[in-house]
């Protein structure tokens, strides 16, 4: 695990150094989820996922980067789809 010191500005923004963004694959405009833990703060990249209905009526979860997806990301996509309906 790498440790990098960053500052928080008056508006609550934190700048992740370019070297770390490149190493972690965090692109400009990407979304991070802030998770409060007993040890501090954890930032995790969020990947866009969408739910589509296949021709046979089965819901499909489509992920832009086609990498592994967590159960929570699947559930979040399903909930967003239900809210749109």
Digit-coded pLDDT (tens) for 18-29: 998 888 888 888
> How many CB atoms are located within 10 Å of the residue 77 CB?
21
| pLDDT given for residue 73 in this prediction | 79
For the four alpha carbons of 65, 70, 76 and 81, in that order, the dihedral sign comes to positive
Domain at 1-46, CATH class: mainly beta
Question: How, if at all, do strands 59-63 and 49-53 pair?
Answer: antiparallel
| pLDDT given for residue 12 in this prediction | 93
| pLDDT given for residue 65 in this prediction | 63
For the four alpha carbons of 75, 70, 73 and 32, in that order, the dihedral sign comes to positive
For CATH 2.10.260.10, list the domain ranges present in the chain.
1-46
| pLDDT given for residue 66 in this prediction | 58
User: pLDDT digit string (tens) for 22-80?
Assistant: 888 888 888 888 889 898 888 887 777 778 888 888 888 777 665 666 778 778 888 88
């Amino acid at each position: 695990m790498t440790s990098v010191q960053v500052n928080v500005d008056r508006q609550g923004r934190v700048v992740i150094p370019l070297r770390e963004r490149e190493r972690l694959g965090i692109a400009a405009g990407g979304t991070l989820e802030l998770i409060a833990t007993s040890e501090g703060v954890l930032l995790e990249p969020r990947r866009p996922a969408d739910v589509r209905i296949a021709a046979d009526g089965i819901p499909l979860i489509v992920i832009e980067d086609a990498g592994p997806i967590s159960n929570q990301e699947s559930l979040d996509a399903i909930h967003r789809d239900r809210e749109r309906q």
